Chain A
Amino acid sequence: MLAQAPHPLSADQSMPHVRIHGLNKWFGAVHVLKDIDLTIRAGARIVVCGPSGSGKSTLIRCINGLEAFQKGKIEYEATSLGKNTRETAKARRQTGMVFQGFNLFPHLTVLANCTLALRRVLLKPAREAEEIAMRHLTAVRIPEKAKAYPAQLSGGQQQRVAIARALCLNPRVMLFDEPTSALDPEMIKEVLDVMIALARTGVTMVCVTHEMGFAREVADEIVFMDEGRIVEQASSKGFFSGTAHPRARLFLDTVLRH
C-alpha cells in the first residue's frame, strides 16, 4: 500500500524543508550541540548516527521544538523555530515525530490516538478524521487493532501505530528518534519494514538509529555525530565504502560487529 502511492508532498525536490544554521545547545554547563549546520531537502532520507551521548537525539528534538536551543537558527519554509509559541506550533505541524518509547496515549484507543490531532488541531469532522486514520493504520498494516488500547498491543505494533499517528497530519518531514531501540529483536523488523515502505513513498525523513542495515538500504545521506558535532556528513555510499572519518570508522566497526 505504501509503496504504490507517492507521498503528495514529495513532488518538489528542490526546496529545502528545514535549514539549521549554527545550532548550539547547552544543558546547564554541558555543551551538547556545537555549531550544527544541516539542510533537510524535500525528499531527503537522512540517517543520524553516532555513539550514545553524541547529541543526535537532542538534535532531532530541537528540530521540532521539543528542546529549546540557545544559539543558531532552525528555519522552516514559512516560519522559524523559537520565535514564539505560535511560530513553534506552526513549525511543529510540518513535522511528525516517532519516539523511542512510542508515547501512545494509553487512555485512548488506537483509532482515537490517530484522530486526536486531526480533530483538535486540523479540526476535521469525526468521520473524515477516522477515514484518514484508517488509511494510515492500513498502511502500517494494523487496521484490525483500531478499537484496541495501546496496552493490548506488542511493542512493535505500538510503534507502527505511533508512525501512523504521526503520518495522519501529513507532515512535510518525519522525525524518528531511535524508533527501534526499545523493541525486542523480533519486533524490530516489522517496524523497519514499515519505515522502508514509507521511505519508498518519497516522504522526507530524518532518522536517529543504530540500525546500519536500514541506513544502508534507505538513507541517501548519513550524518555522523560525536561529542555534539557533526563529524561526517556523506552520501550513504560514501559513508559505507570506507572513506569515512576515523571516528566514524571506529563507530561503524563497533556497531557492525554485532
Chain B
Amino acid sequence: MSTFNIWLGILQGLGTTAQVTAYGLVFAVPFALVFGVAQFLTTGMTRFLVTAIIEFWRSSAVVVLLFVFYYVLPVMGITLSALTVSALVLGLNTGGYASQAVRAGLQSLPAGQREAGMALGLSRLAILLLIELPQALIAMGPTFINNLIQLVKATSLVSLVTLTDMTFRAKEIAQTNYDPVAIYSALLLAFFVVCYPIALAGRWLEARIQS
C-alpha cells in the first residue's frame, strides 16, 4: 500500500472526526457560556456548585470519562450511542476549559463598564448581554480557537469507543499492512491538515481584534 493510499484510507475517517467535533461543539458552546457566566455572577454556595460541575468536566481524564459513559451507564440502564457519548464527553471537557476563558474575559473588564451601564439604568441582564459579553467574547476569541483545536485533537480518543474516526482507520490499516512509519506519519499529517487552518484562522482573528 503506497503512502498516498494509506493517507486516503485514513481520510475516510475524516467524516467521523468532523462529526464528533461539530456535535461536540453543540455541548461545548452552551456549557462554556452558561457556566462561565454563572461562575462570574454567582457567589457562595451556588458558585461552589457551579465550580464543582466545571471542575468535574475539566479535571477528569477524557479517556476515563469516555469509558465511564460508554461502558458504565448501560449497566445503570442508560444507553447512549458512541457518537453521543463522544460528543458529550469531549464537548463538556472542552466546554469546561472554555468556560474559564468566558469567566476570565468577563472578570478582566474594568468595573467602570458595568458602572456606566448601571448609571444609564440598564438592568443587570442587559449589561451582561449588551456590554460585558460582547467585549469578553471578542477578547477571548483566540483562546476559543485554541479550545477548538484541542477538541479536534481529542477526537482521536473516540476510536476507543468504536467510532471509525481517522485514528481508528489508521489502526485498521495497521492491522492489514505492517508499516507503522508510513501509517502513523500519515495520521500525524492528517491531523495537522485539519488543525493548521484553524490555527491560521485564529491568528487572522487575533490580528483583526488588535486593529
Mark A residues whose CB is within 8 Å of B. 64-66, 89, 92-93, 95-97, 99, 101, 103-107, 116-117, 120-121, 165-166, 169
Given the interface pairs A99-B115, A103-B113, A105-B116, the reply to whether A121 lies near B122 with Cβ below 8 Å is: yes
Q: List 26 A-B contacts (CB under 8 A).
A: A64-B119, A65-B118, A66-B115, A66-B118, A92-B118, A92-B120, A92-B121, A97-B115, A103-B110, A103-B112, A103-B116, A104-B116, A105-B131, A106-B135, A107-B138, A116-B120, A116-B122, A117-B121, A117-B122, A120-B126, A120-B130, A121-B122, A121-B126, A166-B119, A166-B120, A169-B121
On chain B, the residues within 8 Å of A89 by CB distance are 121, 123
Additional A-B contacts beyond A64-B119, A92-B120 (20; CB < 8 A): A66-B118, A89-B121, A92-B119, A92-B121, A96-B119, A97-B115, A99-B112, A99-B119, A101-B110, A103-B110, A103-B112, A107-B135, A116-B122, A116-B130, A121-B120, A121-B122, A121-B126, A166-B119, A166-B120, A169-B120
- Docked Cα-Cα span, A121 to B117, in Å, equals 11
- The verdict on B197 contacting chain A, using a C-beta distance below 8 Å, is no
On chain A, the residues within 8 Å of B131 by CB distance are 105
- Docked Cα-Cα span, A120 to B138, in Å, equals 22
Mark B residues whose CB is within 8 Å of A. 110, 112-113, 115-116, 118-123, 126, 130-131, 134-135, 138
Given the interface pairs A107-B138, A116-B130, the reply to whether A121 lies near B121 with Cβ below 8 Å is: yes
- Docked Cα-Cα span, A31 to B133, in Å, equals 35
On chain B, the residues within 8 Å of A166 by CB distance are 119-120
Closest chain B residue, CB of each to CB of A121: B121
- Tell me if B115 and A103 are in contact (CB < 8 A): yes
- Docked Cα-Cα span, A20 to B134, in Å, equals 37
A120 in complex: contacting residue of B112, B122, B135, CB < 8 Å: B122
- Docked Cα-Cα span, A3 to B143, in Å, equals 50
On chain A, the residues within 8 Å of B113 by CB distance are 103, 105
- Docked Cα-Cα span, A141 to B179, in Å, equals 75
Shortest Cβ gap from B43 to chain A (Å): 15
CB-based A-B contact count at 8 angstroms: 55
- Docked Cα-Cα span, A66 to B118, in Å, equals 8
- Docked Cα-Cα span, A95 to B138, in Å, equals 31
Q: Give the residue among B119, B134, B138 with the most A Cβ atoms within 10 A.
A: B119
- Docked Cα-Cα span, A116 to B130, in Å, equals 9
- Docked Cα-Cα span, A166 to B132, in Å, equals 19
Closest chain A residue, CB of each to CB of B137: A107
On chain B, the residues within 8 Å of A120 by CB distance are 122, 126, 130
Shortest Cβ gap from A82 to chain B (Å): 14
Closest chain B residue, CB of each to CB of A66: B115
Closest chain A residue, CB of each to CB of B134: A107
